[in-house]
Amino acid sequence: QVQLVESGGGLVQAGGSLRLSCAASGRAFSAYDMGWFRQAPGKEREFVAAITRTGTHTDYTDSVKGRFTISRDNAKNTVYLQLNSLKPEDTAAYYCAAGTYGSSRSRWSYNYWGQGTQVTVSS
């Protein structure tokens, strides 16, 4: 079992930045690949970024490439998502997830999920 708690969301103007954190507890954090997903009202939950358990490989959905950066600190049991150059269309609840299928884009590859943190970008 892994428990995940996201933080760092908030209200920001377009062009601004936020840093999301996801703190893990329970089983060894370094045994899990981590992903970030987001869900806007009325839309499906979508993949944003993922990182393998050692941090050697990352993946991003096209709409955030060059603006968002995923990273992890296994000593602190935490994964981060740096959000830069935010756009109104980035507004969503952001969720972190843990799994063991690599840096997968599929939500079904992740076994554990946090409760989410809201990011709202005003124009």
The string of pLDDT tens digits covering residues 72-109 is 999 999 999 999 999 999 999 999 999 998 889 999 99
Q: What pLDDT does 102 receive?
A: 85
* pLDDT, average across residues 54-71: 97
Q: What pLDDT does 1 receive?
A: 84
Q: What is the mean pLDDT of the chain?
A: 96
> 8-17, 19-28, 45-54: which has the minimum mean pLDDT?
19-28
* Distant-in-sequence, close-in-space partners of 97: CB < 8 Å, separation ≥ 6: 4, 34, 35, 36, 37, 107, 110, 111, 112, 113, 114
Which of the four pLDDT bands, split at 50, 70 and 90, describes residue 26? Answer: confident
